[in-house]
Amino acid sequence: MGKTPLRYAEDPRYQADMAKRHAQYGDGANCHKRVCSICARTFYAAKPHASLCSERCKQQAVAARRRAVRKANGPRKCSLCGESFTARRGDALYCSNACRQAAHRQRPKAGKA
């Protein structure tokens, strides 16, 4: 494959074609009027769920999502040693494997007298 094809609003000829088609048939017929969720620009796309007008906006959306995940994941405090750490998983409780294993050992075993 060569280089990636232009995305929606990056191809003015495609947009002109789609605008014409949209004027004639409205939504449907593989032509949907969409608003970019990043730059709020109106564009036409063949897919009804298209939400990003260009490759640049797509990359911004990916970066924003990554930032949101990082923010949700940390930094937080280790449940054992109180050290702050950045969680790689949403449900991480401990800063390290060592703390996780130590906490596991400390937990009183159920059902044992």
Residues that bind Zn ion (CB under 5 A): 36, 38-39, 53, 57, 78, 80-81, 83, 95, 99
Are 27 and 35 a contacting pair, CB within 8 Å? Answer: no
In whole angstroms, the minimum distance from the beta carbon of 111 to Zn ion comes to 28
In whole angstroms, the minimum distance from the beta carbon of 9 to Zn ion comes to 7
Which residue, 105 or 112, has its beta carbon nearer to Zn ion?
Answer: 105
Q: In angstroms, rounded to a whole number, what is the distance separating the alpha carbons of residues 86 and 74?
A: 5
CA angle 65, 39, 3 (to 5 degrees): 75
In whole angstroms, the minimum distance from the beta carbon of 18 to Zn ion comes to 15
